[in-house]
Amino acid sequence: LRRQQARRRTATLATVPVAVAALLGATGPAAPGGTGGPGAGDPYFPLSGNGGYHVRHYGLTLRYDTGSRRLDATAVLTARATQRLTRFDLDLKGLTVTAVTVDHRAAAFRRDGQELVITPRRAPRAGQRFRVEVAYHGTPRPVTDPDGSPDGWIPTDDGAFVAGEPQGAMTWFPADNHPKDKASYDFTITVPRGRTAVANGVLLGQRTAHGRTTFRWRESRPMAAYLATATIGTFRTERYTTHDGIQVYNAVDAREARAAAPVLKQLPAVLKWESGLFGPYPFRAAGSIVDHAPDVGYALETQTRPLYDSAPGLETLVHETAHQWFGDSVSLTSWKDIWLNEGFATYAEWLYAEQHAGDSAQRTFAALYARPASDGLWAYPPGDPGSGARIFGTPVYARGAMALHELRRAVGDRDFFRILRAWATVHRGGHGTTAQFVRLAEEKSGKQLQGLFHTWLYAAGKPNSP
Ligand code: ARG
Ligand code: ZN
């Protein structure tokens, strides 16, 4: 969530033309001739993800020197071929690759923009499992998203703020960088003594020797690459287990500690409240990373452990926590469906206010609907916003939430909350599309809802009547 959105200010929308990336050769999932192909077929990010295989597991071993900002790393990917692979790609931007093996045999590789193109000695057959090991090093740098935000490995004064939505995972590890392909992760991260490295999932252990500390983290539930983190800083840490058995780990920069404390204290209550609405929390671990990274400008719902660039407000904590169901557990298959993440997390904020002595969702909706037709809120419909700056724009967040509110008004509270819960349950740990959501809403309510969703997600301009 962006800081200005958290404060509910009207964002000034730069109506830049939609990137023409879609026209520049979107690649299908599997090019012919035994080669995997450089993209996953997403028109917003044609080169993100790759064809011909799925990754089951990433084992990332990272050593970061916070002084020189140098990373030394090895990535071991366990994957399954969906076709014979005489050649395949991973996404990796910058950094120097020194060696690649496939099933323990040295493989030929070359760099081509953000593609690491690998030619194994023996081509994995369709259905075969294979192991890829990549040794690499260098100074990771973030990419700049079309909205001007840094994305990926973002150095800070005492470490690095590591967030990857939508493209930045490839700035620090070789990945099949598209949410279509989710995998489990192991992280082994070595940093100078006194610094803490925080990744996703459960802390397996930490050990200090020779002036360095190694942290081992494991996320065993499927995770999209953009939700992985390995944030490093000088953190105060705290660990506890909730009544429901969720392992909480918080890491907070001392400069943010005072402001963060009262908000982080609410996490167990927020998890419980959201579980009551959306169904059981989808992961074993939870927590927060509160960094001091003033140049970032947003927070990210990194799986199990959202990452904040400064002490969050409670509404931001509610938002990022709601993403654990909507976005992290139920993932996108295509970036154009981004409202399934952001509209839902925003609506969770409205519901939280409504049920905690704040404005009703109806009141929040009405205040937005009152904005004139010239307002940025109506600049484009959220159902297929286009890549570029629009992907995280106000229409995706606010009008996306308005679409859910309209659904609620059309089907009534009982069916609406059944729909939300069913969505999180049926697609738990997997994926969902807008079309599937519309179908589910129609099934659960017995109502025709195509018109409503068309109006709120796809029709240009301010909808006529709410
Ligand atoms: N998904 C994040 C949220 O909670 C926003 C990420 C924005 N990222 C960016 N590169 N602008 O709303
Ligand atoms: Zn969000």
Return the ligand 1 atom nearest residue 306 CA.
Answer: 4
Question: Quick one: tokens of 433?
Answer: 């599309």
Residue 25: the pLDDT is: 32
Going by C-alpha positions, the residue among 114, 49, 129 that lies closest to residue 82 is 129
C-alpha 113 – ligand 1 centre gap (Å) = 24
With DSSP H G I counted as helix, E B as strand and the rest as coil, what are the percentages for the chain, rounded to 5?
Answer: 30, 30, 40
Return the ligand 1 atom nearest residue 151 CA.
Answer: 10
Strands (E), 255-341: 285-290, 307-308, 331-332
Of the ligands numbered here, which is closest to the C-alpha atom of 151? Answer: 1
Q: Check residue 386 and give left, alpha or beta (phi > 0: left; psi -120 to 50: alpha).
A: left
Tens-digit pLDDT profile for residues 27-83: 344 444 588 888 989 999 999 999 999 999 999 999 999 999 999 999 999 999 999
Query: How many helices (DSSP H) and strands (DSSP E) are in the chain?
Result: 10, 22
Average pLDDT over residues 207-232: 98
Residue 292: the pLDDT is: 98
Neighbours of 319 (CB within 10 A): 26
Question: Quick one: tokens of 45?
Answer: 């990010």
Side chain identity at residue 152, one-letter code: G
Tens-digit pLDDT profile for residues 110-123: 999 999 999 999 99
Torsion from C-alpha of 122, 123, 125, 130, nearest 10 degrees: 80
β-bridge pairing 115-119 and 88-91: antiparallel
Torsion from C-alpha of 276, 277, 283, 287, nearest 10 degrees: -80
Please check the confidence at residue 23 and state whether its pLDDT lies above 70. no
Which residues have beta carbons under 5 A from ligand 2 (an ion)?
1, 342, 345
Taking CB atoms and a 6 Å cutoff, what residues make up the pocket around ligand 1? Answer: 1, 145, 147, 149, 151, 165, 298-301, 319-320, 323, 342, 392
Question: Quick one: tokens of 235?
Answer: 């953190």
C-alpha 370 – ligand 2 centre gap (Å) = 23
* Residue scoring higher pLDDT (453 or 40): 453
Question: Quick one: tokens of 204?
Answer: 């397996």
Tens-digit pLDDT profile for residues 394-404: 999 999 999 99
Going by C-alpha positions, the residue among 238, 235, 249, 236 that lies closest to residue 302 is 249
Neighbours of 125 (CB within 10 A): 11
Residue 354: the pLDDT is: 98
Side chain identity at residue 147, one-letter code: D
User: For residue 122, how many C-alpha atoms fall within 13 Å in the half-sphere facing its CB?
Assistant: 10
Ligand 1 mutation target, pool 302, 344, 392, 397, most atoms within 8 A of CB = 392
How far is 123 from 178, CA to CA, in rounded Å?
Answer: 23
Going by C-alpha positions, the residue among 83, 97, 92 that lies closest to residue 30 is 83
Ligand 1 mutation target, pool 1, 161, 165, most atoms within 8 A of CB = 165
Write down the residue that tokens 């286009």 correspond to. Answer: 386
Asked which of 10-19, 80-89, 381-390 is least confident by mean pLDDT, the reply is 10-19
β-bridge pairing 285-290 and 247-253: parallel
176 near 90, Cβ under 8 Å? yes
**What's the pTM value of the predicted model, to 2 decimals?**
0.94
Of the ligands numbered here, which is closest to the C-alpha atom of 154? Answer: 1
Going by C-alpha positions, the residue among 127, 139, 135, 59 that lies closest to residue 94 is 139
Name the strand (E) or helix (H) holding 118: strand 115-119
How far is 223 from 419, CA to CA, in rounded Å?
Answer: 24
> For residue 263, what pLDDT band results from cuts at 50, 70 and 90?
very high
> For residue 6, what pLDDT band results from cuts at 50, 70 and 90?
low
Q: What is the 3-state secondary structure (H, E, C) of 62-100?
A: EEEECCCCEEEEEEEEEEEECCCCCEEEEECCCCEEEEE
Asked which of 1-10, 19-28, 123-132, 456-465 is least confident by mean pLDDT, the reply is 19-28
Long-range interactions of 271-274: CB distance < 8 A, separation 24+: 271/242, 271/244, 271/246, 271/321, 272/242, 272/244, 273/352, 273/355, 274/318, 274/321, 274/322, 274/324, 274/325, 274/348
Average pLDDT over residues 351-377: 98
The residue count of the chain comes to: 466
User: Which whole-number Å values give the CA distances from 405 to 90, 361, 408, 433, in the listed order?
Assistant: 40, 7, 5, 19
Sheet with 88-91, strands from edge to edge, namely 88-91, 115-119, 108-112
Q: Atom 4, ligand 1: which residue's CA is nearest?
A: 1
| Average pLDDT over the chain, rounded to an integer | 93
Of the ligands numbered here, which is closest to the C-alpha atom of 147? Answer: 1
β-bridge pairing 331-332 and 431-432: parallel
> For residue 26, what pLDDT band results from cuts at 50, 70 and 90?
very low
Ligand 1 mutation target, pool 295, 298, 324, most atoms within 8 A of CB = 298
* Helix (H/G/I), strand (E/B), else coil: 410: helix
How far is 19 from 314, CA to CA, in rounded Å?
Answer: 34
Question: Quick one: tokens of 117?
Answer: 């193109």
